[in-house]
Amino acid sequence: MRVLLLADDEERFAAAFEALSRAGHEVVSCHEPGSDAWPCAGIEGQCPVDDGIDVTVTLRHGGEPRRATEDGVACAVRHRIPLVVAGDPTGHPFGRWAAAEVAGAGTKLVETVEAVGAAPSSELSALATAAARTAARQLGLEGAPDPHHPGRDVTTPSGDHLEPFEAEVFRQRRNFRVVVRVPTSVSEQHATAVAERAWSAVRQALPDAATIDVTAVRAT
């Protein structure tokens, strides 16, 4: 994965950089540790977010206010990139925009980053699900029977199960994959229409995404 790492403390930055790099991840930053917050990498050259990021990590001291060197968090959130608050995340100011919190900058950080990066986006999945279910209602499919596999019956790439017309959205840098669960009783034409509506909702939320693929998953 490609990880955006934000930290003021050079020692903690080095520890997190080494742990993530050793695990095979590419690590980039908006600033050199210990440098001024302005200008950032995007002003002086290429913004790392523009090339695609899987997970953003900010290393903090507990209870401190938001730092100027954490401006990259705003860029990440705007691009729907999941945020991990690490180091000492106590009392951090990012609220619901943080996908996970973890103490330290070593093995547990790596495990958390990998879990967050592999998980579907809850925000984008909710948008896609709402769009898919709206399309299903408009097509008269909301009550469509699924006699072969009622309830929670389809395993998705995340290892979870989806209810009818539920969607999950996965990211890899600037590329996205939408998985929509469609009952076997729904025609191919209607399944495509529902999946396309989910795709459209994700595209609207991510106008700068490089690619967005969509798949309608059926019971077998």
Looking at domain 2-118, which CATH architecture does it have? 3-Layer(aba) Sandwich (3.40)
pLDDT (average), residues 38-48: 72
Task: Assess whether pLDDT exceeds 90 at residue 10.
Answer: no
CATH code 3.30.429 region(s) in the chain: 122-217
pLDDT (average), residues 58-72: 84
**pLDDT value, residue 148:** 35
The pTM score is 0.81
**Mean pLDDT, the chain, as a whole number?**
85
Please say whether the beta carbons of 193 and 135 come within 8 A. Answer: yes
pLDDT (average), residues 65-72: 82
- Percentage of the chain with pLDDT > 70? 85
pLDDT (average), residues 121-140: 91
CA separation for the pair 171, 182 (Å, rounded): 21
CATH 3.40.50 assigned to domain 122-217? The reply is no
CATH code 3.40.50.2300 region(s) in the chain: 2-118
pLDDT (average), residues 133-154: 60
pLDDT (average), residues 154-158: 44
Report which of residues 67 and 142 the model is more confident about: 67
pLDDT (average), residues 187-202: 95
